[in-house]
């Protein structure tokens, strides 16, 4: 159920992206620990220790002036509802995002991605999604991403094996 059932896709609420604060981390960890979240993203749940070590490295890199990770907290109507960002992986800038389950289906990810694309000038941008993750693929398509390729993604420490699509946005949208 949406946290506020009166909100709809046309009116998701007031969505903003802001700096990630340490207090956001327990909330974000709780979001991604829900089995339905993991099933949609085709990832395995990770421990809080692992989650915190990943974020400790990101904060340390930011303190050292590194900009490989551009990551924001998504806030809707003053409530933390998820995270979205762009990371340099190899030579590719890759978009990723996730919302707490209570916030799905209100158009928040679509709005958040629009805000992120305004803040991130690099192109091309890439994103990968499990081929079964129709909502994520739709969010990307609405912002001009197109499917560049499909591949079989092997099981890793984090990922479940799956068919995935690689999506690319080549130009800035007008």
Ligand X SMILES: CC(C)(COP(=O)(O)OP(=O)(O)OC[C@H]1O[C@@H](n2cnc3c(N)ncnc32)[C@H](O)[C@@H]1OP(=O)(O)O)[C@@H](O)C(=O)NCCC(=O)NCCS
Contact residues toward ligand X (CB under 6 A) are 9, 37, 40-41, 97-99, 104-110, 129, 133-136, 138-139
The Cα–Cα gap between 74 and 88 comes to 20
| Closer Cβ to ligand X, 39 or 60, answer by number | 39
Q: What is the CA radius of gyration of the chain?
A: 16
The smaller minimum CB distance to ligand X, of residues 65 and 90, is found at 90
User: Shortest approach of ligand X to residue 64 CB, angstroms?
Assistant: 28
Smallest distance, ligand X to C-beta of residue 95, A: 9
**Residues for the chain: how many in total?**
174
Which of 36/174 has CB closer to ligand X?
A: 36
Are β-strands 162-169 and 15-19 bridged in parallel, bridged antiparallel, or unpaired? unpaired
Other C-beta atoms within 10 Å of 170: how many? 11
Cα 34–chain centre separation: 15
Q: Closest by alpha carbon to 108, among 86, 85, 78, 139?
A: 139
Q: Closer to ligand X at the Cβ: 1 or 65?
A: 1
Q: Name the minimum Å distance from CB 60 to ligand X.
A: 25
Q: How far is the CB of 78 from ligand X (least distance, A)?
A: 17
Q: Cis check for the bond before 7: say yes or no (omega within 30 of 0).
A: no
């Amino acid at each position: 159920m949406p946290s506020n059932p009166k909100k709809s896709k046309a009116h998701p609420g007031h969505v903003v992206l802001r700096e990630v604060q340490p207090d956001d981390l327990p909330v974000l960890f709780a979001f991604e620990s829900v089995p339905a979240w993991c099933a949609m993203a085709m990832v395995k749940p990770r421990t809080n220790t692992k989650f915190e070590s990943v974020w400790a490295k990101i904060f340390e890199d930011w303190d050292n002036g590194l900009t490989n990770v551009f990551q924001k907290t998504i806030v809707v109507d003053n409530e933390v509802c998820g995270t979205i960002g762009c990371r340099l992986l190899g030579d590719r800038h890759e978009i990723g995002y996730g919302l707490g389950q209570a916030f799905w289906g209100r158009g928040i990810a679509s709005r958040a991605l629009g805000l992120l694309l305004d803040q991130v000038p690099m192109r091309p941008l890439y994103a990968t999604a499990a081929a079964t993750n129709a909502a994520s693929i739709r969010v990307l398509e609405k912002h001009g991403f197109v499917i560049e390729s499909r591949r079989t993604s092997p099981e890793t420490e984090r990922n479940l094996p799956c068919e995935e699509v690689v999506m690319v946005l080549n130009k800035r949208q007008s």
